[in-house]
Amino acid sequence: MALYKSALFQTPQLIQYRLNDDEIGIYKIPSINEVFVSNKWDTIPISSDNSSKIVFYEILPARGPGGKQLELIDLNIEDSRNSNSLYNLIEKLESYGIKIQKETRYDD
């Protein structure tokens, strides 16, 4: 057993086995009407109630190369500037009715 932040849980083994170290999974459990986002180790439940804590940052190059970051309450996901993976994840979350705040900042 591991200790996590209040909204961050260990990813269930069934999901762990399906994800590579660099992959993110998103799934909905209809019986409890809850959406989950998981990497191989951590899982976070996402609902419209906590969508105010979800922020996507387009990080523009400055001193650093730039990139993308998605803060999902207690789970942070970072990606390179040229990747579309986080855009795909955001699109899927929004299709489930999750609102995402979008901001731009510089990589300093």
Helix, strand or coil, per DSSP, at residue 53: helix
What are the mean pLDDT values of the chain's consecutive 10-residue runs (108 residues total)?
Answer: 66 95 92 91 84 88 94 90 93 92 94
Asked if 67 and 14 count as a contact pair (C-beta separation under 8 A), the reply is: no
Instruction: Give residues with Cβ within 8 angstroms of 47, minimum separation 6.
Output: 33, 34, 35, 98
CA gap 21, 39 in Å, rounded: 7
pLDDT at 53: 85
Q: Which of 99, 102, 106, 98 is nearest to 81 (CA)?
A: 106
pLDDT at 51: 63
pLDDT at 74: 84
pLDDT at 5: 66
Q: What is the pTM of this model?
A: 0.84
pLDDT at 1: 38
